[in-house]
Amino acid sequence: MRSLQSEIEQRGTRIFELVNQHPESLFSRAGFYQRMMALSMRDEQFKAQLFRFVDVLPSLHRSGEIVEHLEEYFADLRDGFAPLVHTGVRLARIVPWVSGRVLRWNISGMARQFIAGKNPHDVMKALRKRRGQKIGFTVDLLGEAVVSETETDEYAARCLDLLETLARETRGWTDPLGRNSELFPVVNLSVKISALYSQINPADPANAIAHLAPKLRPILRRARELGAFINFDMESYAHKNTTLELFKKIFTEEEFKDWPHAGIVIQAYLRDSEADLRDLIDWGRARGTRFAVRLVKGAYWDYETIKSRQNGWDCPVYFQKPESDVNFETLTRILFENGSIVTGAFGSHNVRSIAHAQALADELGIDPSRFEFQLLYGMAGPIKGALVEMGYRVREYCPVGELLPGMSYLVRRLLENTSNEGFLRAKFAENVSEQELLRDPCELLRKSRNGVLPRSNNATTNAMKDRHPSHSRSLDTPPGDTYENAPLTNFVHQENQDKMRKALSEMRTRLGKEYPLVINGEKVFTGKTIASINPSSPDDVVGAVAEAGIAEAERAVRAARDAFEKWRWTPFEERAQLLERAAAIIERRRFELSALEVFEVGKPWTEADGDIREAIDFCLFYAQQMRRIGRPRLTQNVPGEESYYHYWPRGVAFVVAPWNFPLAILGGMMTAALVTGNTVIMKPAEQSAVCGAMLMEILEEAGVPPGVLNYLPGKGSVMGAHLVDHKDVDLIAFTGSREVGLRIWESAGITRPGQRELKRVICEMGGKNAVIIDSDADLDEAIVDCTYSAFGYQGQKCSALSRLILLQENYDRVMERLLKAAASVRVGNPEEPGVTVGPVIDETAYNRILNYIEIGKSEATLAYQREDVPPKGFFIPPTIFTNVKPNMRIAREEIFGPVISVLKVRDLDEAIAVANGTDYALTAGFFSRSPANIERAKAQIEAGNVYINRSCTGAVVGRHPFGGFKMSGGGTKAGGADYLLQFLVPRVVTENVTRHGFAPEETPQYRDEFLWPTAR
């Protein structure tokens, strides 16, 4: 008996023979597309620019715009085809109308290559043609990313319409193989789950399923009546578990339990895929009705690797291509071995993967008519033909839709076709030998493990493998490059959802406790307390903290002053280690602290987790930074003299924090002060005083010496003001409102009798952040990101979007989608996973924001206000005002709530002028696909943090050092390389080391000896 490998080779060779009888290059059509692909494979820069250009083109309406973009995208290209492009651009300038049309026509041609038709009627032409070639179909409706429930309803309606048309138009069509045809209905529809609910949140699959199931049932019902098959496509990893759960749930329902014409996709590039497939098969057996699985490798490899790297998550996909190939073969076997309950469909263009399935089916005695091969429309035509000729069942995946929504699909296909790792490129563009293409992927893996194969030339793979070792301590590399952030919690995993639920229920039992002040290491109760309440349920007291008055403030200053004398001489390495121990404790208590934030400040799950992550990052980043700047460093290499630049701490720091990032901001300012050798009096906001107490507990457990950190909640106007003015307080680190910040700034400028130092004020205040949406922006992204930037955490981030500036050219298009998106965001108690908008912090904020809404109603037009907010708790309805003018109060004053003021402008000049025409300069955003406009926004928008094509909230320590200027703050950058310098005084010691004309030849780069004198 021949081995499986030789069977595979034999079948593979046969496929190649048949393919070679109908030679076709990689792409079915020659011409423009062909040339573009060839250039893309030669030059990565061209490829990136081409794909971006393809992406923006459908949103360009005027020929002049097309020509401008063409120039912007391709003008800087280096070599090869640069002259070609330049000639094109010159020509286009002369006859823009003609050139714009020609380009659009050509790019549309590229899209038409992969899109089978514009609408259900249109697609029938392609399907009939395939029928003649004995190729079946599954149809997929292309759509924009849905951003609202109105859009999901439209998608569902289109699915129903498509089903009707297909059923009507294919009446009388029969199965091409004529055997086992009951397993393979003619009409086959592929649906995308994410297009049926706009608020899918990985943390809350139950909510998603509750919304998805009612949308799906009518489609399934109708499909069943029409004898059609429904397949659930698989999208990004974030949606995977929800899609699987939904599939199992809905097809276990009485109505669909015995319906065999349902299928789902399994992606072999996922490490979880074998477990998922086995679980599905167990489910299928328990259900007792046949179902189908389309096995693919997976279309989101780049996205998954980038996303997981950005968030510090374990990457869900394999890093090496042969790993995905091996897994595809493993899963093929599992499918065949369970053929009694599951029908396999193999979605691949890779002849090795296909030949393996054929050979294995033979080995296991499976009739070829009991499974099928599926291939994409517009790709690998000769392979389809070969498979039909060999007697296999072939189905083509046919996308239907307009050009604009089709762009992301087109870009995915272009990526796939030009991928260095892909089979199609190897076979059809690079003519890799057949023998090579049919090699056993296990063998390739073994070789790669032994280092025989060259490393992948995929930049992302290499970057994944080259991750810096944790929290690298190199002193010579720029800090942003060496710091690796703490990961966010990935709530896609059920285990994390369970941990959070458990933490919430445990925290609930601990609410209402009392917490003392901590002064000089002693716990102090004062007889007076501040109650911290749950903003979702104001009758619930989260905890009560002792309230400090003037007397306690005086004690705290003395304690901090005394402790300073020792702490300042403590080696910075010890201080850095204290922060690292604190980070480890926060990590250990991560879910507990997140749960506390949900109750105390109304943070949704992911926001709370983000705050915890940031607190950890501040500890670790500042520890690393202190090591970087702590050692006295030689200023210049001059013979005969040594000068060392170094830093001393300032003294006693008074840290005053807001409630909106209760651990991160308080912890960030406090740890920066500690690690630099200052002692600290830490005043949390009254509304988040329990979080502050936790932070104190954490630092105590980490080993902070008595007096070095003192915990002092109390009234800002009383003990806070007293400490700001205190002669023994050397530094004030404040984050909060402009009003209080300016008062501190002014008061700290007065020198009091007995004061040693000029007080240093580190001041972070508010913002009136603007986002501009350019006329060519990707609205799928812009709407989602703007909605989140404005309404996420109820608009209570200093970085939140508050002024949305729209160009008149796309005003209507944006507003139409924005209003619907606002109507779709989830508002509710943040104990529920997946809620976006919870309650605002307290009654004062509630009344203030409502007051601003009234002002808005009198100044501008109320375009939207949500109605269904919970009656109890401080819930403010997400609100949007239009017809806002720059001088109106709602366009100038910080509201700090879920309210957007929309300003319409003529053009980008006016947009930038309006964005900059505010007292503040904290964050700003710009959505555009014009490289020239992007550069302009980078250069001209006045804000401390300017974000392009992404949300304007969510700064990450080290990556996005955060803070503004003008009335937003003193230009400090929390989480940046310069931040610690503000907590320090620089000092230089210079020694003449020449004795009678002789000086040592070498001067050390660093000298530590005098930092920690032994005689103290």
Ligand X SMILES: Cc1cc2nc3c(=O)[nH]c(=O)nc-3n(C[C@H](O)[C@H](O)[C@H](O)COP(=O)(O)OP(=O)(O)OC[C@H]3O[C@@H](n4cnc5c(N)ncnc54)[C@H](O)[C@@H]3O)c2cc1C
CB of 300 to ligand X, least distance (A): 6
Residue-by-residue DSSP string for 538-602 = EEEEEEEEEPB-HHHHHHHHHHHHHHHHHHTTS-HHHHHHHHHHHHHHHHHTHHHHHHHHHHHH-
- Choose, by CB under 6 A, the member of 39, 212, 281, 376 that binds ligand X: 376
Task: Provide, rounded to whole angstroms, the least separation between the CB of residue 523 and ligand X.
Answer: 55
Contact 499, 514 (CB under 8 A): no
Stretch that binds ligand X, among 320-328, 690-698, 723-731, 863-871 (CB under 6 A): 320-328
Would you give the end-to-end CA distance of the chain in angstroms?
A: 86
Q: Which is nearer to ligand X, 294 or 631 (CB)?
A: 294
Q: Rule CB under 6 A: is residue 321 a binding residue for ligand X?
A: yes
CA distance 201 to 207: 8
Residue 374 or 594 with smaller CB distance to ligand X: 374
Identity of the residue, 345 or 585, whose beta carbon is nearer to ligand X in the bound complex = 345
Question: Out of 798, 831, 894, 942, which one is annotated catalytic?
Answer: 798
Identify the DSSP state of 475: S
The answer to the question of residue 427 lying near ligand X (CB under 6 A) is no
- Closest contact distance (angstroms) between CB of 444 and ligand X is 12
Distance of closest approach, residue 131 Cβ to ligand X, in angstroms: 17
Q: Rounded CA gap, 639 and 926, in Å?
A: 52
Q: Provide the 3-class DSSP secondary structure of residue 270.
A: strand
Report yes or no: 160 and 219 within 8 Å, Cβ to Cβ. Answer: yes
Closest CA to 681 of 730, 637, 634, 613: 730
Nearer to ligand X, 297 or 826 (CB): 297
Task: Classify each residue of 909-943 as buried b or exposed e, where b means 16 or more C-beta atoms within 10 Å of its C-beta.
Answer: ebbbebbebbebbbbbbbbbbbbebbebbeeebbb
Per CB under 6 A, does 196 bind ligand X? no
**Nearest CA among 176, 130, 181, 138 for reference residue 370:** 181
SS3 786: helix
x-marked contacts with ligand X along 460-499 as a string, rule CB under 6 A: -x--------------------------------------
Total of chain residues touching ligand X, rule CB under 6 A:
35
Could you say whether residue 374 binds ligand X (CB under 6 A)? yes
**Residue with Cβ nearer ligand X (321 or 826):** 321
267 makes contact with ligand X (CB under 6 A)? yes
Catalytic residue among 7, 764, 831, 942: 764
Q: Which of 427, 432, 444 is nearest to 323 (CA)?
A: 444
Name the nearest CA neighbour of 848 among 777, 915, 899.
899
Residue 944 lies near ligand X (rule: CB under 6 A): no
Tokens representing 113?
Answer: 């290559």
Q: Which long-range contacts (CB under 8 A, 24 or more apart) does 285-291 make?
A: 285/341, 287/251, 287/252, 287/257, 288/257, 288/258, 289/251, 289/257, 289/258, 289/259, 289/260, 290/183, 290/260, 290/341, 290/342, 290/343, 291/251, 291/260, 291/262, 291/263, 291/264, 291/341, 291/342, 291/343
582 CB-near residues (< 8 Å, 6+ apart) = 619, 671, 698, 699, 702
Segment near ligand X (CB under 6 A), from 311-319, 609-617, 854-862, 970-978?
311-319
Using CB under 6 A as the binding rule, whether residue 774 contacts ligand X is answered as: no
Confirm or reject binding of residue 233 to ligand X (CB under 6 A).
yes
In order, the DSSP letters of 336-384 are HHTTTTEEEEEE---HHHHHHHHHHHHHTT--GGGSEEEEETTB-HHHH
Q: Does 139 bind ligand X (CB under 6 A)?
A: no
Q: Which is nearer to ligand X, 323 or 329 (CB)?
A: 323
Return the residue of 115, 299, 342, 595 that touches ligand X, per CB under 6 A. Answer: 299
- Interatomic CA distance for residues 55 and 407, integer angstroms: 6
Q: Which of 148, 241, 324, 918 binds ligand X (CB under 6 A)?
A: 324
Closer to ligand X by Cβ: residue 317 or 890: 317
Nearer to ligand X, 359 or 670 (CB): 359
70 binds ligand X (CB under 6 A): no
User: CB-wise, 47 or 726, nearer to ligand X?
Assistant: 47
Work out how close the CB of 395 gets to ligand X at its nearest, in angstroms, rounded to a whole number.
7
Using CB under 6 A as the binding rule, whether residue 599 contacts ligand X is answered as no
Q: Which stretch binds ligand X (CB under 6 A): 214-222, 293-301, 508-516, 538-546?
A: 293-301
Q: How far is CA 546 from CA 97, 222, 543, 651, 656, in A?
A: 73, 64, 10, 26, 17
From residue 235, alpha-carbon distances to 62, 141, 160, 343, 766 in Å are 34, 14, 21, 21, 39
Taking CB under 6 A as the binding criterion, the range among 281-289, 312-320, 609-617, 839-847 that sits at the site for ligand X is 312-320
Interaction with ligand X in 147-166: which residues (CB under 6 A)? none
In 777-907, alpha helices (H)? 779-791, 811-822, 843-859, 889-892
Closest residue by Cα to residue 32 from 105, 126, 118, 114: 105
Among 55, 363, 421, 554, binds ligand X (CB under 6 A): 421
Q: Which is nearer to ligand X, 250 or 783 (CB)?
A: 250
Of residues 298, 378, 958, 975, which one binds ligand X by CB under 6 A? 298
- Picking from 268, 366, 357, the residue whose alpha carbon sits closest to that of residue 321 is 268
Q: Which is nearer to ligand X, 438 or 519 (CB)?
A: 438
Measured from the CB atom, is 232 or 896 closer to ligand X? 232
**What does the per-residue mask of binding to ligand X show for 493-532, with x meaning CB under 6 A?**
----------------------------------------
| Two tokens, residue 826 | 């989830």
- Tell which phi-psi region holds residue 357, choosing left (phi > 0), alpha (psi between -120 and 50) or beta: alpha
Collect all residues with Cβ–Cβ distance below 8 Å to 534 and sequence separation of at least 6. Answer: 511, 540, 541, 542, 599, 600, 602
Check binding of 423 to ligand X (CB under 6 A): yes
263 binds ligand X (CB under 6 A): no
What is the spatial distance between Cα 210 and Cα 551, in angstroms, rounded to a whole number? Answer: 56
Binding mask 333-372 for ligand X (x = CB under 6 A): --------------xxxx--x-------------------
Could you say whether residue 458 binds ligand X (CB under 6 A)? yes
Minimal distance, residue 146 CB to ligand X, in Å: 17
Cβ atoms within 10 Å, residue 363: 15
Q: Does 265 bind ligand X (CB under 6 A)?
A: yes
Radius of gyration of the chain (CA): 32
The mark string for 388-417 relative to ligand X (x by CB under 6 A, - otherwise) is ---------x------------------x-
CB of 446 vs ligand X, minimal distance in Å:
16
Nearest to 926 by CA among 806, 785, 787, 773: 773
Tell me if 297 contacts ligand X by CB under 6 A: yes
Only one of the segments 453-461, 636-644, 654-662, 811-819 lies at the binding site for ligand X (rule: CB under 6 A); that segment is 453-461
- 318 lies in the site for ligand X, by CB under 6 A: yes
CB of 411: closest distance to ligand X in angstroms? 13
Catalytic: 764? yes
Shorter beta-carbon distance to ligand X: residue 458 or 982:
458
Residue 375 interacts with ligand X (CB under 6 A): yes or no: yes
Q: Is the dihedral of CA 617, 620, 622, 628 positive or negative?
A: negative
Per-residue 3-state assignment (H helix, E strand, C coil) for 949-963: CCCCCCCCCCCCCEC
**Residues shown for the chain:** 1016
Decide if residue 683 touches ligand X (CB under 6 A): no
**Cβ 322 to ligand X shortest distance, Å:** 8
State the minimum distance, in angstroms, from the CB of residue 990 to ligand X.
Answer: 56
Catalytic residues: 764, 798
User: Which residues make up the interface to ligand X (CB under 6 A)?
Assistant: 233-234, 265, 267, 269, 294, 296-301, 317-321, 323-324, 347-350, 353, 374-376, 397, 416, 421-423, 456, 458, 461
